[in-house]
Amino acid sequence: MSKTRKIALPGTTYTNPIPMPEKVGGYNAGTTFDNVDFKDLIDGLLYPYQYPSFSSFYISGQSTVLECGEAISGDKTFIWNILNSQNVQSNSITIEDVTNALVLASGLVDDGSEVITLSSVTKTTTAQNNTWKISAQNTKSQTFSRNYTVTWYDPFFYGVGTPGLSVANIQQLSKSVSAKGNKTFSFSPNNQVYYFAYPAIYGQLISILDTNGFEIINDFILRTETFTQNGTYFKNIVDVTYYVYEFNNLTTQINFNITFKF
């Protein structure tokens, strides 16, 4: 019966000042060796260091898109998860409000959550955001991190109504709190006209296509209006200039899709 023999070379080390030409196992290209114990050499080759990283970070129950004027405030639970958490230094987790340059909590244990009381955070300019960051140190004293961002938008308004609707009535149409981009909405007018309104800062439309793909932009009248705070219909506390596109013909349709292009 054959037996496996173990060969021990006590005190044996490996030295090579020539940088490695390519990555092998746990050693990156460019690594050199200076009196490295053979056991450590083999361990580093076969068992590379498992770098920790944040696989998730967010505020529990918090939408990442808000309407301008809405606030984030009060007690908020920050949630995170770390891969290879065995290689995280103890009590090294920090949570910051990057946008406002505030350290919200530090020296945290890696228990996956922390309740933090936030002062009111809100935006009044469309497409502005607020970013929070979580960071920690690995057992090599290297910092790793992950961000969480919430973005605020003034809404798009769309729907049908009688000609010449007031701003207050336009604000009561359907709304989409979303980023600037081409939009397709469904309309069902009954001897009414179409409406489409959005922040003027986005610029004028270049095309409006009906459900059959025909260009109908010349059938709309464009006007400029000032939108002011109006309860839940329009939440921004700052006045915003809007473009309002109004169809210039009464029409009756069912589930008629129109695409608005920038």
User: In b/e form, how buried is each residue of 211-242, taking b as 16+ CB within 10 angstroms?
Assistant: eeeeebeebbeeeebebeeeeebbbbeeebeb
Please report, for the chain, the start and end positions of each structural domain, with discontinuous segments joined by +.
13-46, 53-153, 156-261
C-alpha span between 96 and 70 (Å, rounded): 21
| Residue in 134, 99, 97, 100 with CA at minimum distance from that of residue 114 | 134
Contact 147, 131 (CB under 8 A): yes
User: In b/e form, how buried is each residue of 172-186, taking b as 16+ CB within 10 angstroms?
Assistant: bbebebeeeeebebe
| Residue in 221, 218, 205 with CA at minimum distance from that of residue 261 | 205
Strands 102-108, 93-97: parallel, antiparallel or unpaired by DSSP? antiparallel
Domain 53-153 class in CATH: mainly beta
Q: What is the mean pLDDT of residues 46-52?
A: 85
Question: 65 or 36: whose pLDDT is higher?
Answer: 65
C-alpha span between 48 and 112 (Å, rounded): 26
pTM of the model as a whole: 0.85
Encode pLDDT of 54-65 as tens digits.
999 999 999 999
Encode pLDDT of 190-245 as tens digits.
999 999 999 999 999 999 999 999 999 999 999 999 999 999 999 999 999 999 99
Dihedrals phi, psi of 184, to nearest 5 degrees: -125, 120
